[in-house]
Amino acid sequence: MNKNLIWIITCLSILLLTALITFNIGPEARRQQKGPYRIFPKDLAHWLGWAGFLALAASASYSAMKRGFPKSVKTWLLVHCIIGTISLILVFFHLINKVQDPRPGYFISFFTFLLMAVIVVGGMLGRYVKARPIRDYWRTLHIPLTIIFYFTLAFHILEKMNLLW
C-alpha cells in the first residue's frame, strides 16, 4: 500500500478517535438525545436510515459487478452513482430530525453523514468532471475514505442499537 495512503488513513483515524473522546459519546449522551422536535416520526426516520444503508450496500456491490460483468462496467458505474446518491438522500432524511437540535451525542451521526456526503459527491465529481485535482482526489481518497466510512457506520449502528455501552 502507498505510504501516503497509510498516512492519510492513520491521520483520519486519529482525528475520529480524538473527536469521539472530545465529544460526549456514550450512555450519558444517549440519555440527552431525547427531545420534542421532529420533522419525521421517529419510526419513519429510523426506517429511512435502514433504507439508506441497504441502498448503500447495493451501491457497494459495484466492485463485484464490474469484475463479474466486465463488458458492462459503464452501466454498473452509472448504477453505482445513482444508488449512492439515493442512499445519501435517504440518510439525509434519516438525520434531518437531529439538525434542528444538535447535541454532542449526535457527533457520530453527523460525522458519518459528512463522510458519506464527501464520498458520494467526490465520487460523482471524480466520475463526471475531468479537472485534475478532482480526479486526483478520486483516485487517492475515494476508497480509503469509504473504508473509514464503513468503520464509522458500523460504530454508529452499534451505538444506536446500544451494543457498545
- Alpha-helix runs per DSSP H in the chain: 3-22, 27-32, 42-60, 62-68, 73-99, 107-128, 132-160
- Which residue range forms the structural domain that includes residue 72? 3-160
CA distance linking residue 124 with residue 115, whole number of Å: 14
Q: Per-residue pLDDT averaged across 145-157, rounded?
A: 89
Please report whether residue 116 resides in a domain: yes
pLDDT value, residue 115: 92
Please report whether residue 136 resides in a domain: yes
Higher pLDDT: 164 or 95? It is: 95
pLDDT value, residue 4: 62
Please report whether residue 165 resides in a domain: no
Please report whether residue 42 resides in a domain: yes
Higher pLDDT: 40 or 123? It is: 123
- Across the chain, how many H-helices and E-strands are there? 7, 0
Share the mean pLDDT of the chain.
77
Please give the tally of structural domains in the chain. Answer: 1
Please report whether residue 64 resides in a domain: yes
Say how far residue 23 (Cα) sits from the centre of its chain: 19
pLDDT value, residue 5: 64
Phi and psi angles of residue 88, each rounded to the nearest 5 degrees, phi first = -65, -40
Do residues 100 and 33 touch, judged by C-beta distance below 8 A?
Answer: no
Q: Residue 29 is placed in which grid cell?
A: 449522551
